[in-house]
Amino acid sequence: MGPFFTAILTLAFFRQANAFIDKNVYQCLVDYNLTSVAGLIRDAKLESTLTSSTGGPFTIMAPTNAAVAAIDPDTMASVIKSSVLLQQIVKYHIINKYEVIPALISAGSVETMEGQSITVTSQPSGIRLNNASTVLKDNGDIICNNGIIHVIDTVLIPPVFSTHNLAAVLLERDDIFREFFLYALLSNFTHLIENGEYTLFAPTDLAFGRYSHLNDIHRDTPNAGKIYLEILKYHIVPGARMSNMLSDGQILYTLHGSPITIHLNNGGVKVDDANVVEANIPGSNGVIHAIDHVLFPADLLPNLQG
């Protein structure tokens, strides 16, 4: 007997569940009038993921329509304007495997598609997620042909979440990004990272304290300002990529035009020769990964010779 059907029998033993429905999880959301979260999934361009015949199984923590309507208006306004934030919230409600409630309680936490985890506890008031949302027993669990849906009474917000743009996040995190933000400001570059959608591999202040080819740029270096700008662009990749979206040997093309290479080893992430020392710092228009060395594009080295 496969794990999918074993999970169904486990669910039936521990809880009363709705009958199996030969539809995918997205179709089940619509059929059970969970239309608000279905709409968020559609707007986040994740409908095809949940309806693919080759995808899954999935577990959806599905807020009711009332729960979606109760989202803080300022947060909702930011989410509507930002595809990054919308995807982050939606993915935080999706688990890339079939999880019945007893198994979730036993594990205590589960990693979501977004990359951060949800804690699960059994309390007198019911099954609680992050001690913020309750699984609604009266709705039962909706078993679909590619997963299961648990209905919840509150929208879950990822523990690490920001409605500020990347430039504002760099400024807020002046405990580690003071130098990088200063370079961006002096290069008139902050306006770019206030909009668009990017991944920043941002050197920490300690990284700027280490030797790099930045030390070889002097006042009399021709086009010094342009070189600084291109170095900044070499740390920025179009599109938001959380650490769980990075893979070993992955080539990412920077705004400078030349590529950087991702390396995964012993659970760590390297970008060229720099280590990621703090990953997944979110912004409303992307994500920042702090690195311990300044990256320098090889094609700029001839500008430093002579």
Cβ–Cβ under 8 Å, residues 207 and 296: no
- pLDDT tens, position by position, for the chain (306 residues)? 455 544 544 444 344 455 678 899 999 999 999 999 999 999 999 999 999 888 889 999 999 999 999 999 988 988 888 888 999 999 999 999 999 999 999 999 999 998 889 999 998 888 999 999 999 987 678 999 999 999 999 999 998 888 899 999 999 999 999 999 988 888 888 888 988 899 999 999 999 888 666 665 666 655 666 788 888 999 999 999 988 889 999 999 999 999 999 999 887 899 999 999 999 999 989 999 999 999 988 887 676 654
Amino acid at 116: Q
The tally of domains found in the chain comes to: 2
- Claim to verify: residue 179 and residue 207 sit in the same structural domain: yes
Is 38 part of a structural domain of the chain? Answer: yes
- Claim to verify: residue 83 and residue 197 sit in the same structural domain: no
Is 55 part of a structural domain of the chain? Answer: yes
Domain end among 152, 183, 209: 152
Domain end among 108, 130, 152: 152
- Claim to verify: residue 211 and residue 85 sit in the same structural domain: no
**Domain harbouring 93, CATH code:** 2.30.180.10
- Claim to verify: residue 139 and residue 275 sit in the same structural domain: no
CA dihedral 210, 216, 220, 222 (to 10 degrees): -120
24: closest CA among 114, 152, 142?
142
- Claim to verify: residue 246 and residue 277 sit in the same structural domain: yes
The pTM score is 0.73
Is 161 part of a structural domain of the chain? Answer: no
Is 160 part of a structural domain of the chain? Answer: no
Is 240 part of a structural domain of the chain? Answer: yes
- Claim to verify: residue 116 and residue 185 sit in the same structural domain: no
- Claim to verify: residue 122 and residue 195 sit in the same structural domain: no
Q: Where are the alpha helices (DSSP H) in 137-217?
A: 166-172, 178-186, 205-209
Residue 143 belongs to domain spanning: 3-152
- Claim to verify: residue 183 and residue 136 sit in the same structural domain: no
Look-up: residue for tokens 């070889």? 216
Is 256 part of a structural domain of the chain? Answer: yes
- Claim to verify: residue 179 and residue 267 sit in the same structural domain: yes
- Claim to verify: residue 128 and residue 197 sit in the same structural domain: no
